[in-house]
Structure 1
Amino acid sequence: MPKLISAGRLMFAIGMLGLAFICILAQDFIFGRPPALPAELIGMAPFLGYVGAGIVAVSALAILVNHKYAAYGALVIGLLILISALFRQVPSFASQWLSALKSLFMVGGTIIIAATYAGEQRALKTLSEKNWDVLIYTGCVFLASFFIAGGYSHFLYAEFVIGFIPAYIPFHAFFTYFCAICLFAGGIGILIPGTRRLAALLSGIMVFGWFLLLHIPRFFANMNDPSDRMGLCESFAFAGFFFALTGISERKK
């Protein structure tokens, strides 16, 4: 599955570059969609946005060109998102739980992308296979947490999800609950080694389907909507997480 790993890296890097550009437009580091900074710190938002976006862009470019430090680039992106989540989302977790879990999902994805370089890049060869297994499973836990929470939110906010689906797709209620079940199944499936490869592949196909059928049309319908811009880049990168995980699982098998 080397092609899936390459595709996953490419999709991740392009998605991160898109999100970095959105941060520059927003003048804030908004990976994971954190709440606004407190009034006394709001002046720091442009600095965080520009510096964070610059670091993410350089790291993503390292992955695009397969630089010898590409794996570190993925981990740096994950670290920035984690720090942002700890300071901006965890304190308000009761009201920001889904966004906070999305940030952890993105951190998990960066771990998976970094793990695709295990055995390839000299600096990473110091980690044993057992250590990489632990890191990969940690990434899977983060991915699964958001998927399971996302499935739950499809039931909890069913009316919103139904309204989010474009009019040209029929049976809105059916697909809302069907996707909820798929999210549950995908989250649980990637936690189980025996089903991880298939669950990751099907999850990647599902998320890429959302990119094509939901996020592209919504983006072109209103290109000035920040949420739809982020949804376009996020869904593309998220599908890359799962394709990379599929490739890793196949390689280990």
Structure 2
Amino acid sequence: MGYRDVNLGAPGRLMLAAGLIGFGLIGLYFHHAIDGLEPFDLTRAGVWLNSAVLVPGGVGLAWSRTASKAALALWALLTVLLFAHAPGLIAEPANPVRWVSALEVLGLLAACMLITAPGRKDFPLAARVAVGLMLVVFGVVHWLYAEAIAGMIPDWMPGRTIWPLFTGTANMAAGLAIASGVLARPASFLVGAMFASWIVVVHAPRLLAAPGDRSEWVAGALAFALTGVVWTVNGALHQSGGDLQSRSR
């Protein structure tokens, strides 16, 4: 498969690239590990090393001719970061924050896996399961911590206490659809659109209110990256015919 095959998933790939570049630049500017992505404090040299992969890797991901090679380098880094989450998960297996962070890395890894070899027929299934699991856990956390999630909703939006339950249900439904392959295409598109809307509705206003807050920059970059993850899966499903409903026609 050539670069044109990679280009079919351009919206997801570009959003993913923006998020990963953002992570790298945030690390360089604040001289600090990216919360959630990197599960431990890093020395300045460690931050620079990771950013040296994230920034050029994200730039390479944005260009279809270099996307596969860039995704391979990012895949290597994300694999190391995923294993780095293991000690925290073993130490605190009931801590949902640990699981959310690890599954975010797994989702990023799944998207890079798809971009690395777009012609592989077995990759969409593995990526679907990984991203589906990530979304289901997101949904459960939204329900368990609805009050905390509601605190992120802008004051002008009505029904602030209802939104975490709605978005949590949407995450769980989309995750099950993507993992099973039933209605996976519309589910991956719509949940990506939901993530993208948060960039405008939630993260941009919070960044404008606190431009020096590192955590807000990380949250904004993560919203770009997660949008890219699910839209990359959507693009791969269009290539592979991975939606079970599509194959039954």
What is the TM-score normalised by the length of structure 2? 0.84
Q: Matches of residues 134-149 of structure 1 in structure 2 within 5 Å?
A: 134-149=122-137
CA contact (8 A) 2:127 2:233 kept: no
2:53 and 2:229 mapped to 1: Cα distance? 20
1:4 Cα offset (Å): 6.3
1:139 and 1:31 mapped to 2: Cα distance? 23
Q: Secondary structure at the match of 1:142?
A: helix
CA RMSD of aligned residues (A): 2.1
Give the aligned residue type for 1:73. Answer: A
Q: Does 1:14 align with 2:18?
A: yes
Q: Matches of residues 83-122 of structure 1 in structure 2 within 5 Å?
A: 83-87=80-84, 89-93=85-89, 94=92, 95=95, 96-115=98-117, 118-119=118-119
Tell me the alpha carbon deviations over residues 30-75 of structure 1, each in whole angstroms, 9 at most, x when there is no partner: 26344433xxxxxx521111011011211122122333x4212113
1:97 Cα offset (Å): 2.0
CA contact (8 A) 1:28 1:47 kept: no
Q: Matches of residues 1-253 of structure 1 in structure 2 within 5 Å?
A: 5-30=9-34, 32-37=36-41, 45-67=43-65, 69-87=66-84, 89-93=85-89, 94=92, 95=95, 96-115=98-117, 118-119=118-119, 132-253=120-241
Q: Secondary structure at the match of 2:158?
A: coil
Which residue of structure 2 lines up, in the alignment, with residue 126 of structure 1? none
Q: Choose 177-186 or 153-162, whichever is displaced more.
A: 153-162
1:222 Cα offset (Å): 0.8
1:230 Cα offset (Å): 1.0
1:144 and 1:249 mapped to 2: Cα distance? 13
1:109 Cα offset (Å): 2.2
Which residue of structure 2 lines up, in the alignment, with residue 127 of structure 1? none
1:57 and 1:31 mapped to 2: Cα distance? 17
Q: Identity over the aligned pairs, expressed in percent?
A: 24
Structure 2: segments with no counterpart, 5+ residues: 242-249
CA spacing shift, 1:101–1:227, aligned 2, 3 Å: same
Q: Secondary structure at the match of 2:211?
A: coil
1:29 Cα offset (Å): 4.1
2:55 and 2:38 mapped to 1: Cα distance? 19
1:79 and 1:146 mapped to 2: Cα distance? 20
Q: Secondary structure at the match of 1:172?
A: coil
1:2 Cα offset (Å): 8.6
CA contact (8 A) 2:11 2:228 kept: yes
Structure 1: segments with no counterpart, 5+ residues: 38-43, 120-131
Tell me the alpha carbon deviations over residues 161-218 of structure 1, each in whole angstroms, 9 at most, x when there is no partner: 1111111111011111011100001111111223211111111111111112111111
1:147 Cα offset (Å): 0.9
Which residue of structure 1 lines up, in the alignment, with residue 247 of structure 2? none
Q: Secondary structure at the match of 1:173?
A: coil
1:204 and 1:91 mapped to 2: Cα distance? 30
2:25 and 2:15 mapped to 1: Cα distance? 16
Structure with higher helix content: 1
CA spacing shift, 1:225–1:52, aligned 2, 3 Å: same
Give the aligned residue type for 1:98. Answer: V
CA contact (8 A) 1:32 1:106 kept: no
Aligned residues: 231
